[in-house]
Amino acid sequence: MNAALKKIYGMLVALLLVAVGIGLQKTGTVALFSDPYDYPELIRLLWQHLYLVGVSMAIATVIGLAVGIILTRPKFRAYTGVVMYVVSLGQTIPSLAVLALVMTFLGIGAKSAIFALTIYSTLPIARNTLAGINAVPSSIIDAAKGMGMTTMGILWQVEIPMALNVILTGFRVALVINVGTTALAYLIGAGGMGDWIFTGINMMMTDKLIAGALPVTLLALLADFLIEVLRVMLVSKGLRMTEE
């Protein structure tokens, strides 16, 4: 049964790839990608996109982890509701509105885009860090204290390793959202693959639109795959099986 399902799955994937290839050929996207004069522009926009994603995710990761860890400490647990509400405001407001609001006091360009993307990406990391550490059984914490481990030792050697699977899930969600939302950065002059996407929409050029959307889609899929690889490398097999 499994062998038959694998064959059917393989055939469906092959048919999908053929259909996508035909679509790209008919819309002229293949010709656009094969034009050597478009390569420098593609590389420039792709680099801008990766730069915005990389910088904003680095800042969001630091903030999200810090917020999540601090709120799990006994003296700060009373402030969890208020702090998480403030952090969640970034995703409560639509992404276009966040970009517009940030642009009003930071101006146009990469600085505003990075600030907005950081706000938009912090919540999943902070929320999953908080949930993952709080889910560590108290019996394990008590056992670690009984062994003479310090509070910081318990955090870095027990709580974070056991919560890492949940934390990486939050990071994956934030990264995929970030990659897609970065396309909107073009609207405030920050560049990225949104340049081709919105040019294609405004000029009704399907090849340009797909040429901009396809790399963003592939980047999101690649990011999801790399986080899964990282999860397999960092999270022990026993913890992965327990979570699944």
List, for residues 175-196, the tens digit of each pLDDT value: 999 998 999 888 888 888 888 8
Are 183 and 35 within 8 A, CB to CB?
no
Range of the domain at 205: 37-243
The CATH number for 188's domain is 1.10.3720.10
Q: What is the total count of domains within the chain?
A: 1
51's CB contacts (< 8 A; 6+ apart) are: 110
CA distances from residue 2 to 6, 63, 117, 129, 244 in whole angstroms, order as listed: 6, 44, 42, 37, 20
Is position 200 within any domain? yes
- Residue type for position 155: L
How does pLDDT run across 217-233, given as a tens digit for each residue? 889 989 999 998 888 88
Instruction: Please state, for a pLDDT cut of 90, what percent of the chain lies above it.
Output: 23
Query: What's the CA gap between 167 and 149, in Å, rounded?
Result: 23
What's the pLDDT at 1? 46
What's the pLDDT at 11? 60
How does pLDDT run across 8-63, given as a tens digit for each residue? 655 665 555 545 555 555 555 555 556 666 678 888 889 999 999 999 999 999 99
Task: Kindly tell me if the per-residue pLDDT of 206 is higher than 90.
Answer: no
Are 108 and 168 within 8 A, CB to CB?
no
Neighbours of 46 (CB within 10 A): 15
Q: What is the DSSP letter of 29?
A: H
Q: Mean per-residue pLDDT for 64-92?
A: 88
How does pLDDT run across 106-130, given as a tens digit for each residue? 888 889 899 999 998 999 999 999 9
Task: Kindly tell me if the per-residue pLDDT of 69 is higher than 90.
Answer: yes
Is position 103 within any domain? yes
Is position 224 within any domain? yes
Dihedral sign for Cα atoms in the order 103, 189, 118, 120: positive
Is position 167 within any domain? yes
What's the pLDDT at 232? 84
